[in-house]
Structure 1
């Protein structure tokens, strides 16, 4: 399965990768028993190199922020539960500048052809994704009192444009999305009351078009959740207003305590749990359809059919039915491999996310 992360530059996408490393990159170190590891060929040296590449996101080792994503990166991972593999997924991290360049190719040092190619690549990955994570800086959402300005500054406006087009082109396609409000620890205290309820309401207001799109598309599943890569009290933020309309403030975040990410795993668990749930439902539909086909074929099976199939040198109805039955059994086998993990993943996710109805 594929999970794509989309957000403007500085929204916190790469820092979220760091939060995932700190939360789920250490086998057996979280109470849910889930962890992730880079997927690589079955050679010990290359597997170690893959793990080392993922560990460069560690905030605890360096106590400084990782460099932002300069180019689109695909990370292949395996999810484990109590040391047993649950599922594979590809994590796609886009460089944030693409969202700006979709509507303004003049404000970039890249060639227009290169930008168009990257945008085409972005679109194709979104098309193929089972789930998308929409990333927005919680501080930006709350800094601007004007809701339209908050939509524009946070990148929500451009995200809306992409998924309005997606909805029009693919009106009946399943889509799982998470609105992830990063840097939740940096917002004013009034936004944090009642488990960040005011911040979540603000996020739903800023992303109201995604909420509307979900209501128009019954096959969409969405949620919203505040996230922090370091946790409360572990970063010091200084904010300096400017006279520049294009960049109204400058901020500097310094890590001052040992990172303890908040809600990082719940985002991923929601994406994977809902995707596996949809796969289960699709497999069940497929199995029921094949059972119906099997019943129809067996009704037609008989001596005349067998004689006719021998004359025409084509498989008889009973042989066709057997083949369908074998295919159905394969579906059951695939379903049984991940079915037991769906509820633990979703149960953990629902502890913190708010589903969008």
Structure 2
């Protein structure tokens, strides 16, 4: 299973990794029984090193923001529930500037080979992902009164262009996505009433084209949720208008309290829960389809087929069909081990994630 974050530079992708560590790391604050750890098949000492690498995202250790991602990184994770593995997934974090470069390059002949490779890698990750997290700065959404400007400044327009193309190329493919409104603690109080309802409505307005795509594609499942890496009152933002039309304001965020992430785990739980649910449905369909195919084979595989099999000493059609079905059943058995955890994951997510109907 693959989960990819999509967002422009500064939208909060890497900092979200920090909130995941604080919430779902082995020493996290999550009380729902779920835990997240880097996947490692190495001996104990090597496994500790991989966890230590994840812990470098800790905000509580340094009270400073992590550096932005300079190159695409794939993180293999395991999700545990009450200390037992629930599912595995790969988390892709890429350099945010790529999103801008995809739509701003005037002439592909002038693009460096490195940039072309990075763009190709990003496209491949999105193409192979079961779930995508669309990352957008909540402060940017609310700073600009003009919806079109907010859409442009936040990267929503570029995200829509990418997924419009995705929808055309893959019209019948399942896709789970979450619009993650980062830095929710920095917006004005008027956007925070009723559990951030005004901010969510603003997000849906800015991403209205993505909402439309979701409604047009019955195999898409979308959600939206506000998130903060440190929680209310634990960061102070200073904003200075510049008068520059290209960069209208400068902002500086300083951590002033112990980090208490808001809704970080709900984003991931929605991605995993919804994807596993879709996989379960597809697995049931697959088993039923193969059972039907086996039945058809058995009707055709009469006595002549069995006699010929004895003469040639090769498996008959019935044996081959049953072997294929048995192999597929084994795949489903692996998924079925996760089934009891799918609804808890999804139900926990939907405590905060609003579905996009």
Report the TM-score, using the length of structure 2 for normalisation: 0.96
Q: 1:304-315 residue pairs with structure 2 within 5 A?
A: 304-311=304-311, 314-315=314-315
1:76 aligns with 2:76: yes
Q: Partner of 2:239: helix, strand, or coil?
A: strand
Range with greater deviation from structure 2 (319-328 or 121-130): 319-328
Aligned partners of 1:34, 1:251: CA distance in 2, in Å?
Answer: 35
1:125 CA displacement: 0.6
Q: Deviations over 1:289-338 (max 9, x none)?
A: 11111222222343232123334554323323431442243134123211
Aligned partners of 2:330, 2:237: CA distance in 1, in Å?
Answer: 54
1:115 CA displacement: 1.3
Contact 1:11 1:182 in 2 (8 A): yes
- Alignment-derived partner of residue 247 in structure 1: 247
- Alignment-derived partner of residue 176 in structure 2: 176
Aligned partners of 1:143, 1:244: CA distance in 2, in Å?
Answer: 15
Q: Partner of 1:240: helix, strand, or coil?
A: strand
- Alignment-derived partner of residue 237 in structure 1: 237
Q: 1:98-177 residue pairs with structure 2 within 5 A?
A: 98-105=98-105, 112-177=112-177
Aligned partners of 1:162, 1:73: CA distance in 2, in Å?
Answer: 20
Aligned partners of 1:128, 1:326: CA distance in 2, in Å?
Answer: 27
Cα RMSD of the aligned pairs, angstroms, is: 1.7
Aligned partners of 1:148, 1:209: CA distance in 2, in Å?
Answer: 12
Aligned partners of 1:254, 1:164: CA distance in 2, in Å?
Answer: 37
Contact 2:287 2:325 in 1 (8 A): no
Q: Partner of 1:164: helix, strand, or coil?
A: helix
- Alignment-derived partner of residue 202 in structure 2: 202
Aligned partners of 1:324, 1:48: CA distance in 2, in Å?
Answer: 40
- Alignment-derived partner of residue 222 in structure 1: 222
Contact 1:138 1:183 in 2 (8 A): yes
1:211 CA displacement: 0.5
Contact 1:105 1:115 in 2 (8 A): no
1:106 CA displacement: 7.3
Contact 2:22 2:29 in 1 (8 A): no
1:29 CA displacement: 4.5
Aligned partners of 1:355, 1:212: CA distance in 2, in Å?
Answer: 13
Aligned partners of 1:313, 1:132: CA distance in 2, in Å?
Answer: 50
Aligned partners of 1:38, 1:325: CA distance in 2, in Å?
Answer: 33
Report the TM-score, using the length of structure 1 for normalisation: 0.96
- Alignment-derived partner of residue 263 in structure 1: 263
1:71 CA displacement: 1.2
Aligned partners of 2:239, 2:269: CA distance in 1, in Å?
Answer: 33
- Alignment-derived partner of residue 33 in structure 1: 33
Q: Deviations over 1:4-34 (max 9, x none)?
A: 0011111011111000000000257522100
Contact 1:18 1:58 in 2 (8 A): yes
Q: Deviations over 1:206-233 (max 9, x none)?
A: 0111111111111010000000000001
Distance change >3 Å, CA 178–CA 20, structure 1 → 2 = same
1:103 CA displacement: 2.3
- Alignment-derived partner of residue 58 in structure 1: 58
* Unaligned residue ranges in structure 2 (runs of 5+): none
- Alignment-derived partner of residue 287 in structure 2: 287
* Unaligned residue ranges in structure 1 (runs of 5+): none
How many residues end up aligned between the 2 structures? 355
Contact 2:239 2:252 in 1 (8 A): yes
Aligned partners of 1:141, 1:287: CA distance in 2, in Å?
Answer: 45
Contact 1:177 1:222 in 2 (8 A): yes
Contact 2:11 2:135 in 1 (8 A): yes
